[in-house]
Structure 1
């Protein structure tokens, strides 16, 4: 075992003991009431006057903990080695890696921030809650970082023009994968054409419909409105609108037309890959994290493009998406915030973003790295870039997710009870706009 790796099972046990169980969910109210995070005004400097004394207490060694998904350990160890070499004459380091899912960063950090990692990756949708809780150390060299990265990735890492994290990837969105041996470039332009071709071939189209992340595809470009309120907690939504060129029931009926098609399958993202590998699935909505598996299964027939249009209210509407970015944050309560910031900056610089692309096929947010010929030749990354034109940043309140799951389960089953579609849409919107997750 590498000296930097702390066993994931041990870490999980400690976290569960700290939180009193692994079913913990943290939001701003949880954090406020628990006292786990002390009040820090967004954008405020976190005092570093204790740094020298802490270093003395640790025998002059700068101790930093980094969270990461296990698949990235080998790559991160290389990056940490180069960081230690870069600053070898300035400090002695003891940098450890602990296993943690990027999707869980916010909940775990806000549950016990003082024992959290000094440096950690996370998706942009977690930023607001962490900033509101005062958990992030603002980027000290903000202008330098902003100038080095894509404007959209900088915006995703900022609140009120303050940069709170280091942009790392620009590929955390989704698009359409398809098997060129089964579908033509023309087939995948429209949902109708694709499903017709798949039925003829006896193959399927896969989508994780009961995830609000993917469900948004049907609503984003219809003229119906949805987003998070200024309180940062609740949502506004008129997906049940009864007027306008496209009404809420029009979208519901369009979804039913797709889900009742024999070629359609609603299933988890992991099952999509299983279908690709066993030959039953020839198209599906997913992201770059599955690019290697899809390429291995389909070889030269691997295709990736923006999402198709679909028929709603008698017209073709481009399917939308949530766009996403990953970034590296620094714990505001790190004993060594300045060194933690240097490490986060190093792990996300141009050279290391290029390494992420080469070793993990992750799309860079660094402007120079993203402009390389090698990146331009990867269909999945080009597809997520093309789809981003029709997407928006994921900024939603907690009540959105359960409401979408319940709605999607009904749609995926084909509305078996024959419930009135307007009632279904009213229930969906009531859930999305609720004051708290149910």
Structure 2
């Protein structure tokens, strides 16, 4: 009996130990599961245009709702325009945002500095976006950024009250109509971005060398179907035309409002203002042809894209990349178009009915056939503007045109140390 009692006692103790052990194991597993389900609290800084902040806040809120069981993002938005991104970063790399919006022409330098790296899910992003936007965001086939817009280009706006569809096919006709009505057609000749349009489709060449710093350019060519002076003289004729005015975006909109301007070159950012002013007479179309060397030459343009980069030094790069992908997805590119009128790079968003109904976006698409990526070194901009200024101020003549063009090209192609 005693032995049997001892056996029962031993069994009882063993059972208690087993139950206690199982209870502790289950408690540990539950604790691990609870910790794995714990929502992370992550802080990020994002750079973007001040005009985008309300829109970005909406997108960030929807992201937090989507991933509320995983993370709570606390995003600080800082007003750094896309065009200022690279300069601002290089001024103090340590203060760069975790995510930043930038124009495609800054991609090479940001990558060279190690501030952005090839993105992880490139194949998926490539399938979703247009080939041209992927090309703009890539280096040697590797995707370094998330395409956000495909609308950073320019085309022609016009008032249908004064100009017919056939009129806007050639700049000659547009200027003639404008002059006959004491009106103006505008274009910004202070910027090499717009001035490229006269040279880009002539067979002459401009680009950046393999050092990614200096340029090659033969815009002063003395031989060929179209010579450098042919372009310069054509521009001189336009500059002196009574129907032309050198005005930027503000001048175009102000002139449309007071009735002095009936057409002008600009981008999608001017669409809402001009549509409000011209109402049912508002229209947009690709750039016209212009007369050069006795023939009609289609005006070209720089094509531009805006994209999001993820700082390779970010402490929360995983969530920064996830947010960048979210902000640039189809749904949010459609929202961006609705709220800001900006053209999508996402193929499905671009094919939506709303986008197809936008005159500005359709004009940009028409012009894309005659555009090229903006890949030029820093020495391009000032010499081209100075050359145009000499035309506008009547310092240029047919007699000194070759000399002026030689000077321009010499400075465009100069080494940085030669400046």
Q: Same fold (TM over 0.5)?
A: yes
- Deviations 1:395-420, CA, capped at 9 Å, x for gaps: 00000001111111111223357761
Alpha-carbon offset, residue 268 of structure 1: 2.3
1:351-370 alignment, distance < 5 Å: 351-370=331-350
The answer on whether the counterparts of 1:136 and 1:331 sit within 8 Å (CA) in structure 2 is yes
Whole-angstrom distance in 1 between the partners of 2:144 and 2:396: 47
Of 342, 355, 377 in structure 2, the residue corresponding to residue 397 of structure 1 is 377
CA distance in 1, matches of 2:84, 2:171: 33
Q: Name 2:29's counterpart in structure 1.
A: none
**Counterpart among 289, 293, 296 of residue 276 in structure 2:** 296
Structural RMSD (CA): 1.4
Counterpart residue number, 2:129:
149
1:172 aligns to what? 152
Q: Which has the larger radius of gyration?
A: 2
Following the alignment from structure 1 to structure 2, what is the Cα–Cα distance between the partners of residues 359 and 258?
37
Separation of aligned partners in 2, 1:77 and 1:239: 46
Question: Deviations for 1:376-428, whole angstroms, at most 9, x for unmatched residues?
Answer: 11000000010010010000000000111111111122335776111011001
Match of 1:3 in 2: none
Q: Residue 34 of structure 1 corresponds to which residue in structure 2? A: none
Residues 73-109 of structure 1, C-alpha deviation per residue, up to 9 Å, x if partnerless?
Answer: 1111110001111121112321111111111001101
2:235 match: secondary structure: helix
Give me the whole-angstrom Cα distance separating, in 2, the residues matched to 1:137 and 1:179. 45
Distance 2:218 2:292 in 1: 17
Unpaired segments of 5 or more residues in structure 1? 1-58
Distance 1:190 1:158 in 2: 35
Task: Give 1:225-240 correspondences, 5 Å limit.
Answer: 225-240=205-220
Partner-residue secondary structure (3-state), 2:58: helix
Q: Distance in 2 between matches of 1:116 and 1:274?
A: 37
Any residues of structure 2 matched to 1:67-78 within 5 Å, and which?
67-78=47-58
Cα shift at 1:210: 1.9
In structure 1, which of residues 375, 379, 388 is the aligned counterpart of residue 359 of structure 2? 379
**What is the total number of aligned residue pairs between the two structures?**
380
Instruction: Give, in angstroms, the shift of residue 138 of structure 1.
Output: 2.4
Runs of 4+ in 1 over 3 A off after TM superposition: 416-419
Aligned pair partner of 1:105 in 82, 85, 94: 85
Structure 2 partner of 1:203: 183
User: How far did residue 201 of structure 1 move?
Assistant: 1.2
Pairing 1:257–2:214 present:
no
Counterpart in the other structure of 1:244: 224
Cα deviation for residue 269 of structure 1 reads 2.2
d(CA) in 1 for partners of 2:162, 2:100: 41
CA distance in 2 between partners of 1:196 and 1:304 (Å): 19
**In the superposition, relative to structure 1, how do residues 353 and 249 fare at CA in structure 2: closer, same or farther (>3 Å)?**
same
Q: 1:162 aligns with which of 139, 142, 149?
A: 142
Question: 1:143: how far off?
Answer: 0.5
**CA deviation map 1:344-367 (0-9, x unaligned):** 000000000000011111110001
Task: Describe how 1:7-26 pairs up with structure 2 within 5 A.
Answer: none
Larger helix proportion of the pair: 2
* 2:204 match: secondary structure: coil
Provide the TM-score with structure 2 as the length reference. Answer: 0.89
Return the alpha-carbon distance in structure 2 between the equivalents of residues 325 and 276 of structure 1. Answer: 27
> What SS class does the counterpart of residue 389 from structure 1 fall into?
helix
User: 1:328: which partner in 2?
Assistant: 308
1:66 matched residue in structure 2: 46
- 1:103-133: per-residue Cα shift (whole Å, max 9, x none)? 1001101221221111111111111111111
Q: Is the 8 A contact 1:113 1:333 kept in 2?
A: no
Contact kept, 8 Å, 2:40 with 2:70, in 1: the verdict is no
Find the aligned partners of 2:92 and 2:381 in 1 and give their Cα distance.
24
Residue of structure 1 in register with 2:31 after alignment = none
- For structure 2, the 5+ residue unaligned runs are 1-38
Q: Tell whether 2:380 aligns with 1:412.
A: no
Separation (CA, whole Å) in 2 of partners of 1:158 and 1:60: 32
**1:266 partnered with 2:229:** no
**CA distance, structure 2, for counterparts of residue 243 and residue 417 of structure 1:** 20
Q: In structure 2, how many angstroms separate the alpha carbons of the residues matched to 1:133 and 1:403?
A: 27
3-state DSSP class of the match of 2:278?
helix
SS at match of 2:271: helix
2:103 is the counterpart of 1:123: yes
Query: Taking structure 1 as reference, are residues 373 and 426 closer, same or farther at Cα in structure 2, changes over 3 Å only?
Result: same
